[in-house]
């Protein structure tokens, strides 16, 4: 049987299909440009020779239901050798915002859908397309359970002193204004992998996890649980990102509105889509930025320096919060692939027992890579993230728990 993980965006559907028994990736793909015009599906399947064949198809797709029907059709026409293509154990959905309602994954029923709808004001760009895919798959395959796995759930262990803002308390009581955090599945996954690699139970580990990509966030984990994280009410707070500004003086919004005459909605759009690395140097791909910096582009150089400086500040603050740090983990597209970002984010931290080995840091690795020096008291690990695998595991656990079956694959 199969476990399908679905990440539905406003005009796209990303998916990954796992074998239930060992979580081998059977298929994965991305359907883009849903809506007017021709959509493009890039689909990969496991072949009999244990490599992956890529299939690209196009079709006019007007909505997500048609998109999911298209994906199921292609999966049926290009089966893997492992099992029957339509035997599904469950569908796991990435849902961005669970508010304070959802502290763990849930099997989706009408009440869960209503509650996710109520949370749309907290994630107006993300929760609606997540719901579209949930509804479509419930209609297409009513016999298969759907599970919602929330980006915010992992951070619900934060104490009040970490998640409250210094605002009038009625804003929290009446409007749920607080820090929630995101990228929970990624932070949780790499924490588990660190525990496995180091041979230390999660409940004994203190970690600083750095998910660095176009979206970026840092988390402080005490005993494997999140006690602080850089993103807040929305994913805009915290580290500098591809197009998001990260931490910002709140008065900037009002100042820009007065000076430019732009509406708050327009400024919000700028802070989310035109700021961050893109705002500094006109680019949001770190690979391109590093190439331009090497060619002497001053703004590209500044973007990298600012990006790493913000990360370093969070490492220091989270070290103070934790008191003891066993390991710092780099993950995400930038965290896994940019040796320069890793190096500059940790420079000058030897007094904290954080010391990077330049040679190790430059090595390529497809698994866990240790990059600390011999003198470093803190382990420094590069761990490739796999949010879809974590969502699949949580989907299996949730369905089995609901059915009274104990245990999940120890994978």
Do 124 and 219 fall into the same domain? no
Do 218 and 330 fall into the same domain? yes
**Residue 78 included in any domain:** yes
Instruction: State how far the Cα of 153 lies from the Cα of 268, in Å rounded to an integer.
Output: 25
**297 catalytically annotated:** no
Q: Which domain holds residue 75?
A: 2-150
Domain total for the chain? 2
pLDDT of residue 403: 87
**Residue 189 included in any domain:** no
Do 114 and 206 fall into the same domain? no
pLDDT of residue 84: 61
40, 31 contact by CB (below 8 A): yes
Do 234 and 296 fall into the same domain? yes
**Residue 409 included in any domain:** no
Do 230 and 345 fall into the same domain? yes
pLDDT of residue 406: 65
pLDDT of residue 404: 84
pTM: 0.93
**Residue 194 included in any domain:** no
Helix H, strand E, coil C: the string for 155-183 is: HHHCCHHHHCCCCCHHHHHHHCCCCCCCC
Rounded to the nearest integer, the mean pLDDT of the chain is 94
Do 205 and 142 fall into the same domain? no
**Residue 253 included in any domain:** yes
Q: What percent of the chain has pLDDT over 90?
A: 88
Do 212 and 305 fall into the same domain? yes
**Residue 165 included in any domain:** no
pLDDT digits (tens, 9 = 90+) for 336-387: 999 999 999 999 999 999 999 999 999 987 899 999 999 999 999 999 999 9
Exactly one of 118, 151, 247, 285 is catalytic; name it.
151
Do 355 and 212 fall into the same domain? yes
Distance of CA 328 to the CA centre of its chain: 17
313-317 contacts at long range (C-beta below 8 A, 24 or more positions apart): 314/208, 314/210, 314/218, 314/230, 314/238, 314/239, 315/208, 315/210, 315/218, 315/345, 315/346, 315/349, 315/354, 316/349, 316/352
How confident is residue 141, by pLDDT bands cut at 50, 70 and 90? very high
* CATH code of the domain covering residue 322: 3.30.420.40
Instruction: State how far the Cα of 34 lies from the Cα of 12, in Å rounded to an integer.
Output: 6
Among the candidates 120, 135, 150, a domain finishes at 150
pLDDT digits (tens, 9 = 90+) for 279-309: 999 999 999 999 999 999 999 999 999 999 9
E runs forming strands in 96-163: 106-107, 146-150
Among the candidates 150, 172, 188, a domain finishes at 150
Report the DSSP pairing between strands 379-382 and 369-370.
antiparallel
Do 83 and 219 fall into the same domain? no
Do 141 and 274 fall into the same domain? no
pLDDT digits (tens, 9 = 90+) for 193-246: 999 999 999 999 999 999 999 999 999 999 999 999 999 999 999 999 999 999
Do 143 and 290 fall into the same domain? no
Do 239 and 329 fall into the same domain? yes
Least confident of 40-49, 59-68, 78-87, 248-257: 78-87
């Amino acid at each position: 049987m199969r476990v399908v993980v679905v990440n539905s965006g406003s005009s796209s559907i990303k998916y990954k299909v796992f074998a239930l028994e060992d979580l081998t990736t059977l298929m994965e793909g991305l359907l883009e440009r849903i809506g007017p015009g021709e959509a493009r599906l890039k689909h990969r399947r496991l072949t009999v020779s244990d490599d992956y064949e890529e299939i690209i198809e196009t079709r006019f797709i007007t909505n997500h239901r048609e998109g999911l029907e298209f994906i199921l059709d292609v999966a049926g026409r290009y089966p893997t050798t492992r099992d029957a293509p339509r035997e599904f154990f469950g569908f796991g959905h990435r849902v961005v915002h669970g508010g304070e309602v959802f502290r763990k994954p849930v099997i989706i029923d009408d009440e869960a859908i209503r509650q996710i709808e109520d949370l749309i004001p907290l994630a107006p760009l993300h929760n609606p397309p997540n719901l579209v895919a949930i509804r479509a798959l419930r209609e297409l395959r009513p016999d298969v359970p759907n599970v919602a796995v929330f980006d915010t759930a992992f951070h619900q262990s934060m104490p009040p002193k970490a998640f409250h803002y210094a605002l009038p308390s009625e804003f929290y009581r009446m409007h749920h204004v607080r820090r929630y955090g995101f990228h929970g599945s990624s932070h949780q996954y790499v924490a588990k992998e660190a525990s496995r690699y180091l041979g230390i139970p999660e409940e004994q580990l203190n970690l600083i996890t750095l998910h660095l990509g176009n979206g970026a966030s840092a988390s402080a984990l005490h005993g494997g649980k999140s006690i602080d994280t850089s993103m807040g009410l929305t994913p805009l707070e915290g580290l500098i990102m591809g197009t998001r500004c990260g931490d910002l003086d709140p008065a900037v919004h009002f100042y820009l509105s007065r000076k430019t005459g732009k509406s708050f909605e327009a400024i919000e759009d700028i802070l989310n889509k035109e700021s961050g690395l893109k705002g500094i140097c006109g680019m949001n791909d770190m690979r391109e930025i590093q190439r331009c910096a090497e060619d002497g582009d001053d703004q590209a150089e500044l973007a990298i320096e600012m990006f790493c400086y913000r990360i370093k500040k969070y490492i220091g603050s989270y070290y103070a919060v934790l008191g003891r740090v066993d390991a710092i983990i780099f993950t995400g597209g930038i965290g896994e692939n940019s040796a320069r970002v890793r190096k500059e984010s940790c420079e000058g931290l030897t007094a904290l027992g954080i010391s990077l080995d330049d040679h190790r840091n430059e090595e390529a690795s497809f698994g866990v890579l240790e990059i600390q020096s011999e003198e470093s008291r803190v382990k420094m690990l590069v761990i490739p993230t796999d949010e879809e695998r974590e969502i699949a595991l949580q989907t299996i656990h949730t369905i089995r728990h609901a059915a009274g079956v104990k245990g999940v694959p120890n994978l």
